[in-house]
A and B are shown apart, each in its own frame.
Chain A
Amino acid sequence: MSRILTYREALREGLDEELARDPNVVLIGEEVAQYNGAYKVTEGLWKKWGDQRVLDTPISEAGFIGMGIGASLLGVRPVMELMFWSFHSVAFDQLVSNAACIRYMSGGLCHCPIVVRGPANGGTGVGATHSHTPEALFAAFPGLKVCAPATPADAKGLIKTAIRDNDPVFVMENTLLYGTSGEVPDPADGDFLVPLGLADIKREGSDVSLIAHGRSVIQALAAADILQTEHGIHAEVLDLRSIRPLDQDAILKTVRKTHRVVLVDESKPFGGVSAMVAMLIQDHAFDDLDAPIKRVCSLDAPAIYSQHVEYEQLPNPGRIVGKVLSMA
């Protein structure tokens, strides 16, 4: 039996369940405890679990993320919130030299079971410094895992999986999705987990594949509606969910089904997730393509503030529909 939860509530339920399951799980971050979370994802968890399990930190990302990495070496499983993933840059050395490399540099003697989570998206009028989408950036570091859920159910299933995974997992959420609702399985029906590395067909179709992750999935689904009702084009929407590991089989399967691909990716075009996906498609399914691979990415400039044009900088149904029609 499913319930309708918001994406925010689903994440919170996942965190709460993992706090209950494993006493080594600790939530760490700015305003996660007494303030109840800047975006209220952790609301109520400090009251329920106390100071030991839900820890407020100063604004000190390199410090507290490095602290979490160090603690993970001794078996603590820190789940660290970046208020915005955009703030990764001040902790970058900890994330990519320590979290990503410590297992390798120690010849497998160490491992680093941390989760870093928070929103990574544009579209909220907060300008370039708060609108970075670094999923491809971090997926480029072997040793790290990256996922980006689009729905409440996936958000819950992936955060729980991320916490249990024994490697560092970066979960990229979305402030524009926190308030969206969807069905989430009832805990009474058993532990609900979504594995990393498993994509999900969010809409079946036969004419073109829209491959997306994060909020771009929602935009692709809206575009698919328009394509069907206004143009008679049946678009399939594949939600990658996980960036690294990446479900290459699912990507190739939808390409072989529809033979046309539009990659929808809020990353910037240069080196974005879509760049990697396009490379894999041409490498493994070149003969299955009836048209060149196309992309709808964020327009290639820092995120603009102006609410008058920000919408058009990001992937949106209109831009996706336009791209699909241009392939005809």
Chain B
Amino acid sequence: MNRANLSSLDFALSPINQGLTPERKIELFAQMVRIRRFEQASLKYYQSGKIAGFLHLYIGQEAVAVGTISLGGPDDHFITAYRDHGHALAIGMSMNECMAEMFGKKTGCSKGKGGSMHFFAPDKNFWGGHGIVAGQTPLGLGLAYALKYLGREGCCLCYLGDGAVNQGTFHESLNLAALFEIPVVYVIENNGYSMGTSQGRSSSYTSCLAQRADAYNIAWDVIDGSNLYEVRAKTHIAIERARTQHRPSLLEIHTYRYYGHSIADANHKKYRTPEEIENHKQNYDPISVFRRTLIAEGILTEDRAAALNQAAADEAAAAVKFADSSPAPSLADIRTDVYWESDHATPASKIGRHFFDD
């Protein structure tokens, strides 16, 4: 029995997972499959030139976003870095708006102004999609501070990569989170590589990265990201700590990305061995692990899994068609969404010159 199967048996018994109905479990499985199919489609169209810029794929990490976001209540909020497709779909954004955003189309979630790294859905409590490593960590703190200030019961889950833990803003955020008792849960998605630099070559630590939280008197935990039940069980504890005690947490979720840092990362098979990648795919793939678990539980069949897979592929293909046939932004669109006051044509926006083109 491999490690993943062993641990999945344990965490399936935690109350937060025992409360899952069979249909909800299948829904979580389907969400992971949708993320993967969506990204496989985006890779194809990135390589054909339809998608510009960078493409940071989440493939291999799906259980982190799906597991953690599945715990979200009405006033829990989410913010992440540039590897944001998984979170966006798990939060309930449509494949259409996300694919169209990457195609640079007006029908994209950010009207084609943000691209792959900048998906937003404030109506679903999703605050991006941020391009600068660790730049989102104080924003997540601020969202959680606002919840507390406004007297709302909720928390903010703020995701970052293992490469972000060495940025100053992250440490400043941890200090403020503990000092001000802010309901934020920082989630390090540790895929082992800070772009092309392994954890051992980029971070100094004793047992793990999350242990740095001790220095700030913040609770921490380490989680196997290939196991959706474990992700949910341990993250739930941190979320409750935030919601009810206004205390922050730092979680380190071990996961793995099958592709490079971005698709522009030409060296991703040089700084790690093919055997390492293959080992993760064979033994720790979060979708395969959960599929086997659900089949063992008698909830899912191979046929239904295949049907969900096909449905996700069809949905992604339809999203590509939607994106491809959508209109591009106009030159006039370049000038909107810069200032709120200008967009709303308020009296303030009519005083003085706001833009300085000839």
Name A residues whose Cβ lies closer than 8 Å to a Cβ of B: 24, 26, 52, 55, 57-58, 60, 62-76, 93-94, 97-98, 102-111, 113, 142-143, 145, 161, 165-167, 195-198, 242, 244-248, 276, 280, 283
Q: Sorted from nearest, which 3 A-B pairs have the closest CB atoms? A: A197-B352, A70-B142, A66-B138
B173:A63 contact, CB within 8 angstroms: yes
Quick check: which of B12-20, B115-123, B199-207, B242-250 contacts chain A, the rest being far away? B115-123
Quick check: which of B26-34, B61-69, B143-151, B263-271 contacts chain A, the rest being far away? B143-151
Quick check: which of B272-280, B297-305, B336-344 contacts chain A, the rest being far away? B336-344
Distance from A99 Cβ to chain B, minimum over Cβ atoms (Å): 10
B352:A242 contact, CB within 8 angstroms: yes
Please give me the residue from chain B that is nearest to A59 by CB atom.
Answer: B172
B127:A110 contact, CB within 8 angstroms: yes
The residue in A57, A60, A69, A161 that gathers the most chain B C-beta atoms within 10 A of its C-beta is: A60
A73:B354 contact, CB within 8 angstroms: no
Interface CB pairs A-B, < 8 A, 20: A52-B149, A60-B172, A63-B175, A66-B135, A66-B173, A67-B139, A67-B145, A70-B138, A70-B140, A70-B146, A73-B122, A74-B150, A75-B146, A105-B129, A108-B343, A109-B110, A143-B338, A167-B339, A197-B353, A248-B352
Q: Is B169 an interface residue (CB 8 A)?
A: yes
B169:A104 contact, CB within 8 angstroms: no
Give the residues in chain B near A68, CB-CB below 8 Å: 142
Q: Is B165 an interface residue (CB 8 A)?
A: no
A165:B120 contact, CB within 8 angstroms: no
Distance from A171 Cβ to chain B, minimum over Cβ atoms (Å): 15
Give the residues in chain A near B339, CB-CB below 8 Å: 103, 143, 145, 167
What band does the interface of chain B fall in when counting residues whose beta carbon is under 8 Å from A?
Answer: 35 or more
Once A66-B141, A103-B337 are accepted as A-B contacts, the answer to whether A247 and B343 lie under 8 Å apart by CB is no
Please give me the residue from chain A that is nearest to B131 by CB atom.
Answer: A97
A60:B139 contact, CB within 8 angstroms: no
Q: Is B132 an interface residue (CB 8 A)?
A: yes
A58:B110 contact, CB within 8 angstroms: no
> Which of B120, B139, B168, B341 has a CB less than 8 Å from the CB of A105?
B120
Q: Considering the chains assembled together, what is the distance between the CA atoms of A277 and B37 in angstroms?
A: 53
Q: Considering the chains assembled together, what is the distance between the CA atoms of A274 and B131 in angstroms?
A: 33
Known A71-B142, A107-B114, A108-B337; 16 more pairs at CB < 8 Å: A62-B169, A63-B138, A70-B143, A70-B145, A74-B77, A76-B145, A105-B110, A105-B128, A106-B113, A107-B111, A108-B111, A111-B340, A166-B340, A197-B351, A246-B356, A280-B356
Q: Considering the chains assembled together, what is the distance between the CA atoms of A137 and B353 in angstroms?
A: 17
A70:B139 contact, CB within 8 angstroms: yes
Q: Considering the chains assembled together, what is the distance between the CA atoms of A271 and B172 in angstroms?
A: 32
Please give me the residue from chain A that is nearest to B336 by CB atom.
Answer: A108
The residue in B111, B139, B176 that gathers the most chain A C-beta atoms within 10 A of its C-beta is: B139
Name B residues whose Cβ lies closer than 8 Å to a Cβ of A: 77, 79, 108-114, 118, 120-122, 127-132, 135, 137-147, 149-150, 156, 168-169, 172-173, 175-176, 179-180, 336-341, 343-344, 346, 348, 351-356, 358
Q: Considering the chains assembled together, what is the distance between the CA atoms of A267 and B193 in angstroms?
A: 43
Please give me the residue from chain B that is nearest to A241 by CB atom.
Answer: B352
B122:A65 contact, CB within 8 angstroms: no
Give the residues in chain A near B175, CB-CB below 8 Å: 58, 60, 63
Q: Considering the chains assembled together, what is the distance between the CA atoms of A98 and B143 in angstroms?
A: 13
Distance from A63 Cβ to chain B, minimum over Cβ atoms (Å): 3
> Which of A52, A70, A276, A283 has a CB less than 8 Å from the CB of B141?
A70
Please give me the residue from chain B that is nearest to A283 by CB atom.
Answer: B358
Once A97-B132, A104-B338 are accepted as A-B contacts, the answer to whether A245 and B142 lie under 8 Å apart by CB is no
Distance from A31 Cβ to chain B, minimum over Cβ atoms (Å): 15
Distance from B194 Cβ to chain A, minimum over Cβ atoms (Å): 18
Q: Considering the chains assembled together, what is the distance between the CA atoms of A195 and B173 in angstroms?
A: 35
Q: Considering the chains assembled together, what is the distance between the CA atoms of A269 and B144 in angstroms?
A: 42
A106:B128 contact, CB within 8 angstroms: yes
Give the residues in chain A near B338, CB-CB below 8 Å: 103-104, 142-143
B146:A74 contact, CB within 8 angstroms: yes
B120:A197 contact, CB within 8 angstroms: no
B149:A62 contact, CB within 8 angstroms: no
B354:A244 contact, CB within 8 angstroms: yes
Q: Considering the chains assembled together, what is the distance between the CA atoms of A76 and B143 in angstroms?
A: 9
B341:A67 contact, CB within 8 angstroms: no
Q: Considering the chains assembled together, what is the distance between the CA atoms of A198 and B137 in angstroms?
A: 37
The residue in A64, A109, A166, A167 that gathers the most chain B C-beta atoms within 10 A of its C-beta is: A109
Give the residues in chain B near A195, CB-CB below 8 Å: 348, 351-352
A60:B109 contact, CB within 8 angstroms: no
B139:A69 contact, CB within 8 angstroms: yes
A64:B354 contact, CB within 8 angstroms: no
A196:B337 contact, CB within 8 angstroms: no
Please give me the residue from chain B that is nearest to A111 by CB atom.
Answer: B340
Please give me the residue from chain A that is nearest to B344 by CB atom.
Answer: A166
Distance from B147 Cβ to chain A, minimum over Cβ atoms (Å): 7
B145:A71 contact, CB within 8 angstroms: yes
The residue in A106, A145, A280 that gathers the most chain B C-beta atoms within 10 A of its C-beta is: A106
B139:A98 contact, CB within 8 angstroms: yes
Q: Considering the chains assembled together, what is the distance between the CA atoms of A72 and B138 in angstroms?
A: 12
Give the residues in chain A near B114, CB-CB below 8 Å: 104-107
Give the residues in chain A near B120, CB-CB below 8 Å: 105-107, 109-110
Q: Considering the chains assembled together, what is the distance between the CA atoms of A123 and B318 in angstroms?
A: 63
Please give me the residue from chain B that is nearest to A28 by CB atom.
Answer: B145
Distance from B300 Cβ to chain A, minimum over Cβ atoms (Å): 36
> Which of B109, B149, B351, B355 has a CB less than 8 Å from the CB of A196?
B351
A110:B122 contact, CB within 8 angstroms: yes
Please give me the residue from chain A that is nearest to B97 by CB atom.
Answer: A107
B135:A97 contact, CB within 8 angstroms: yes
Please give me the residue from chain A that is nearest to B140 by CB atom.
Answer: A70
Give the residues in chain A near B355, CB-CB below 8 Å: 142
